[in-house]
Amino acid sequence: MQTHPENDPRSALIASLTGQGFPVLDLTDNELAKLHIRHLVGGHAERVEDEVVLRFEFPERPGALFNFLNRLGGRWTISMFHYRNHGAADGRVVAGLVVPEEERHLVGAALDEIGYPYWDESENPAYRLFLG
């Protein structure tokens, strides 16, 4: 839904909906929702436990995906992978990894070794609401 910032501000819409008893979660500034969730279908995955959800900027160059898969895919199961190309130097990726709780501390080091910018989206409300 879109509002006009001056004539019909978002805050008025939110107030109207909550005033009528509807729960509202404003995802306007949520990068995961804007870049990925709105393009995904299927909903919640059954029987996927210990999922860590990460958002990346992949360099648009040969070998970038292979590098990612080679470093992470052999160690942890990739439970979700969504790639968006906007014609820029970087592609945008959201990926789910099945990582046992006792190995969570190893994920950051593995991602730092790959060298792509990343954000942990595991607790993102858009992920939790639509996919988690």
Q: What is the pLDDT of residue 42?
A: 65
Element (H, E) at 105: helix 104-114
Nearest in space to 28 (alpha carbons), one of 56, 1, 6: 1
pLDDT for res 88: 64
Coil, helix or strand for 118? strand
For 92, the domain range is 31-130
Q: Does residue 52 form part of some domain?
A: yes
If you ran DSSP here, which 8-state letter would residue 71 be given?
I
Name the residue with tokens 């190309």: 85
Question: Within 13 Å and on the Cβ side, how many CA atoms surround 3?
Answer: 13
Looking at residue 67, its pLDDT comes to 85
- Asked whether residue 78 is assigned to any structural domain, the reply reads yes
Higher pLDDT, 1 or 75: 75
CATH classification of the domain holding 77: 3.40.1020.10
- pLDDT tens profile 97-115: 999 999 999 999 999 998 9
pTM of whole model > 0.85? no
- CA–CA gap between residue 8 and residue 27 (Å, rounded): 17
Is 64 a domain residue? yes
Q: What is the model's pLDDT at position 58?
A: 84
Share of the chain above pLDDT 90, in %: 23
**Domain membership flag for residue 113:** yes
Q: What is the pLDDT of residue 120?
A: 94
| pLDDT value for 119 | 94
Alpha carbon of 91 to those of 52, 55, 129: distances in Å? 20, 11, 25
**Could you give the number of structural domains in the chain?**
1
